[in-house]
């Protein structure tokens, strides 16, 4: 079964707008990671946030983590057409595996 569940499943925005994706999970975690996948390709790591962290930034990316609500959000600011991809959250916990959600398909229209 999937641990993380992204919301929404698909998101379409205009270039320059911000994109927010959410991830909910069910059990305790050690860390939560976000990955990006261009169509049919391998995944690329974006950012990792540990369970004792609440917010993290990397360039145009901002990730928040609320362990009390078992949720995380990924914000991409000033989106570009090149940001079009699927975005996955992945949770690592005591079950000794990194579990991925089904992803959010982001389309950024020029």
Return residues touching other proteins (CB under 8 A). 2, 30-31, 33, 35, 40-45, 48, 88, 90, 92, 95-103
Closest separation between CB of residue 43 and other proteins, Å? 4
Rounded to the nearest whole angstrom, what is the least distance from the CB of residue 99 to other proteins in the complex? 6
- 13 CB neighbour count, 10 Å cutoff: 17
Return the number of the residue (15 or 98) whose C-beta is nearest other proteins: 98
**Least distance CB 89 / other proteins (angstroms):** 11
In angstroms, give the least distance from the CB of 110 to other proteins. Answer: 26
Give the residue with the Cβ less far from other proteins, 15 or 107: 107
Three-state secondary structure call for residue 91: strand
b/e map 47-65, b = 16+ CB within 10 Å? bebeeeeeebeeeeebbbb
The maximal CA–CA distance of the chain, rounded, in angstroms, is 42
Pairing of strands 104-109, 10-14: parallel
**24: cis peptide before it, omega within 30°?**
no
Closer CB to other proteins, 2 or 18, in the complex = 2
Specify the residue, 15 or 22, whose C-beta has the smaller distance to other proteins: 22
């Amino acid at each position: 079964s999937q641990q993380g569940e992204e919301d929404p499943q698909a998101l379409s925005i205009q270039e320059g707008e911000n994109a927010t994706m959410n991830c909910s999970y069910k059990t305790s975690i050690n860390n939560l990671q976000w990955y990006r996948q261009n169509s049919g390709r391998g995944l690329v790591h974006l950012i990792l946030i540990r369970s004792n962290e609440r917010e993290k930034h990397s360039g145009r990316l901002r990730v928040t983590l609320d362990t009390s609500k078992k949720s995380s959000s990924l914000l991409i600011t000033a989106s570009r057409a090149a940001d079009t991809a699927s975005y996955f959250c992945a949770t690592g916990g005591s079950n000794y595996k990194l579990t991925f959600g089904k992803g959010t398909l982001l389309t950024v229209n020029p």
